[in-house]
Amino acid sequence: MYQLQFKPADKTPKYKQIVQSVITDIERGMLRKGDQLPSISEMSEEYYLARDTVEKAYRELRERGFITSVQGKGYYVQSKEATKIKILMVLNKLSSYKKIIYYAFLEALGDQATVDLHIHHYNTSLFQEIMEKNLGKYNYYVIMPHFTQDTDDAACLKILNSIPPDELVLLDKDIPALKHKCLAVFQDFDKDISGALEEAADDLLLKYQRMVLILPSDGNYPAEIAWGFRTFCINHQKDYAVKENAMNEIIEPGTAYVVVRETDLVELVKKVRQTSYLLGREIGIISFNETPLKELLGMTVITTDFVSMGRTAAQLLLDKQHEKVRNPFYMIRRGSL
């Protein structure tokens, strides 16, 4: 028997919930042309609804061409399966990097899917609200699960576990604690940064005895970035420090900086230019995440491939694969190191 996506406590009118449930299941391919729906009596008894409510819903569905009625037999799905996959993408913020992922994802999907975009702004309550309103209405839910460092992990897990694993796609960050395996294209921030720095350990970084990571604690950046940085420095016996910002930094020769935030990058470059030290010889700078401006300025970067992340997620989704794929992360060498 057909299972209606119905929430009695929802403020949406009950007849509208019936209409939306049937349309969504047609679009998702769960209801196909010719499938019979429960009778008005069966629907009203099963979900404790007034007959008038069910009649109103079926009438709207019939008028919109989704179902048809056969006298003496009942109601049947009339629409064909949806030709396009429906996807809800929920990002933590809409930065320039997230836009790259988003547009690469759209391009790789082509005309095979439609994508609705929401932003949860690192807010668990807002994320929960978005999911409660939209669960059951899409074929796939593409989630970027970055939240503030003081977020209740159990609350996030509960929301993510409420999404069927074959419909969940994780972007940028994996969540190993999930109950079931799902598709994920992620950065392994700890191993990524240490691995990228290893690429320059035997040449460009040899001339620097000290390394400083400038990582704001108030920017919701993954703590694993600092872990990977410390691992590299300890393994290569370099003095190191992790600092909040570049404002009070005293520039000393033989120091290489790893800078996450662009405002700190600007501040650091200004400070170096106020000294007689040469960038790339006595002072080194490595910036997080590639941009055209950093390329123009000759800035060495360690970066993930944002285009690849979007494309890979889209292709795996279209192929109905549930793999976990670590996204490429590497160093682009330029004159600042």
Tens of pLDDT, residue by residue over 16-63, are: 999 988 988 887 778 888 999 999 999 999 999 999 999 999 999 998
HEC string of the chain equals CCCCCCCCCCCCCHHHHHHHHHHHHHHCCCCCCCCECCCHHHHHHHCCCCHHHHHHHHHHHHHCCCEEEECCCEEEECCCCCCCEEEEEEECCCCHHHHHHHHHHHHHHHHHEEEEEEECCCCHHHHHHHHHHHCCCCCEEEECCCCCCCCCHHHHHHHHHCCCCCCEEEEECCCCCCCCCCEEEECCHHHHHHHHHHCCCCCCCCCCCEEEEECCCCCCCCCHHHHHHHHHHHHCCCEEEEECCCCCCCCCCCEEEEECCHHHHHHHHHHHHCCCCCECCCEEEEEECCCHHHHHCCCEEEEECHHHHHHHHHHHHHCCCCCEEECCEEEECCCCC
Give the per-residue pLDDT at 136. Answer: 77
Quick one: pLDDT at residue 220?
82
pLDDT at site 80? 58
Q: What is the pLDDT of residue 135?
A: 85
Question: Which ranges of the chain have pLDDT less than 50?
Answer: none
Q: Which CATH code is given to the segment(s) 190-304?
A: 3.40.50.2300
Domain 85-188+306-328 fold is Rossmann fold (3.40.50)
Domain ranges of the chain: 14-77, 85-188+306-328, 190-304
Two domains, one topology: 14-77 and 190-304: no
CATH topology of domain 14-77: Arc Repressor Mutant, subunit A (1.10.10)
